[in-house]
Amino acid sequence: MNIDIDNGMAPQTSSSPNQLTVHQGLLYFVANDGVHGKELWRYDVNTAVASMVYDFNDGKNSSDIKNLISFDDRLCFTATDTENIKFKLWC
Protein backbone atom coordinates (compact mmCIF):
# COMPACT_ATOMS: atom_id res chain seq x y z
CA MET A 1 0.00 0.00 0.00
CA ASN A 2 1.33 3.42 -0.93
CA ILE A 3 -0.23 6.47 0.74
CA ASP A 4 0.99 9.92 -0.20
CA ILE A 5 -0.78 12.96 1.20
CA ASP A 6 1.01 15.40 -1.13
CA ASN A 7 -1.77 16.94 -3.21
CA GLY A 8 0.61 17.86 -6.02
CA MET A 9 1.11 21.44 -4.83
CA ALA A 10 4.37 20.80 -2.99
CA PRO A 11 7.62 21.39 -4.90
CA GLN A 12 8.87 17.94 -3.94
CA THR A 13 7.62 14.68 -5.42
CA SER A 14 6.69 13.16 -2.06
CA SER A 15 5.14 14.28 1.20
CA SER A 16 8.35 12.98 2.83
CA PRO A 17 6.75 11.21 5.81
CA ASN A 18 9.00 10.72 8.83
CA GLN A 19 8.86 10.27 12.62
CA LEU A 20 6.55 7.24 12.17
CA THR A 21 5.11 6.31 15.57
CA VAL A 22 2.28 3.94 16.49
CA HIS A 23 -0.02 5.22 19.24
CA GLN A 24 -3.28 3.58 20.34
CA GLY A 25 -3.62 1.64 17.10
CA LEU A 26 -3.01 4.60 14.77
CA LEU A 27 0.13 5.49 12.83
CA TYR A 28 1.27 9.06 13.50
CA PHE A 29 3.82 10.79 11.28
CA VAL A 30 5.12 14.17 10.15
CA ALA A 31 4.57 15.02 6.48
CA ASN A 32 4.14 17.90 4.03
CA ASP A 33 0.91 18.02 2.02
CA GLY A 34 2.08 21.03 0.00
CA VAL A 35 -0.38 23.38 1.71
CA HIS A 36 0.36 23.33 5.45
CA GLY A 37 4.09 22.64 5.59
CA LYS A 38 5.36 19.74 7.68
CA GLU A 39 2.64 18.91 10.20
CA LEU A 40 1.43 15.99 12.31
CA TRP A 41 -0.73 13.40 10.54
CA ARG A 42 -2.35 10.13 11.53
CA TYR A 43 -3.25 7.09 9.48
CA ASP A 44 -5.94 4.61 10.44
CA VAL A 45 -5.23 1.18 8.93
CA ASN A 46 -8.85 0.09 9.47
CA THR A 47 -10.31 2.85 7.31
CA ALA A 48 -7.21 3.53 5.14
CA VAL A 49 -7.65 7.26 5.86
CA ALA A 50 -4.84 9.72 6.55
CA SER A 51 -5.77 13.03 8.17
CA MET A 52 -3.88 15.98 9.55
CA VAL A 53 -4.08 16.13 13.36
CA TYR A 54 -3.57 19.89 13.64
CA ASP A 55 -1.79 22.74 11.86
CA PHE A 56 0.39 23.90 14.76
CA ASN A 57 2.05 26.66 12.72
CA ASP A 58 -0.55 28.24 10.38
CA GLY A 59 -0.12 28.31 6.61
CA LYS A 60 2.84 26.83 4.77
CA ASN A 61 5.12 27.31 7.78
CA SER A 62 6.27 23.97 9.13
CA SER A 63 5.87 23.15 12.81
CA ASP A 64 9.26 21.44 13.07
CA ILE A 65 7.70 18.49 14.90
CA LYS A 66 10.27 16.17 16.48
CA ASN A 67 10.66 13.56 19.18
CA LEU A 68 7.31 11.77 18.71
CA ILE A 69 6.81 9.26 21.51
CA SER A 70 3.83 7.22 22.67
CA PHE A 71 3.70 7.44 26.46
CA ASP A 72 0.84 5.75 28.33
CA ASP A 73 -2.34 7.24 26.82
CA ARG A 74 -0.59 10.30 25.32
CA LEU A 75 1.35 11.10 22.20
CA CYS A 76 4.08 13.58 23.10
CA PHE A 77 6.37 15.63 20.84
CA THR A 78 8.05 18.99 20.46
CA ALA A 79 6.82 21.54 17.92
CA THR A 80 6.91 25.20 16.96
CA ASP A 81 3.48 26.88 17.08
CA THR A 82 2.23 30.17 15.64
CA GLU A 83 3.97 32.01 18.48
CA ASN A 84 7.24 30.49 17.18
CA ILE A 85 8.19 29.08 20.55
CA LYS A 86 10.86 26.55 19.67
CA PHE A 87 10.70 23.08 21.16
CA LYS A 88 7.43 23.56 22.98
CA LEU A 89 6.30 20.25 24.48
CA TRP A 90 2.89 18.96 23.39
CA CYS A 91 1.14 15.96 24.98
| Domains of the chain by residue range | 18-90
Note the pLDDT of residue 12. Answer: 53
The pLDDT tens digits of the residues spanning 6-60 come to 655 555 556 888 899 999 999 999 998 888 888 999 999 899 889 999 888 777 7
Note the pLDDT of residue 17. Answer: 87
Note the pLDDT of residue 2. Answer: 54
Note the pLDDT of residue 81. Answer: 73
User: 30-33 long-range CB contacts below 8 Å, 24 or more apart?
Assistant: 30/65, 30/68, 31/5, 31/6, 32/6, 32/62, 33/5, 33/6, 33/7, 33/9
Note the pLDDT of residue 4. Answer: 59
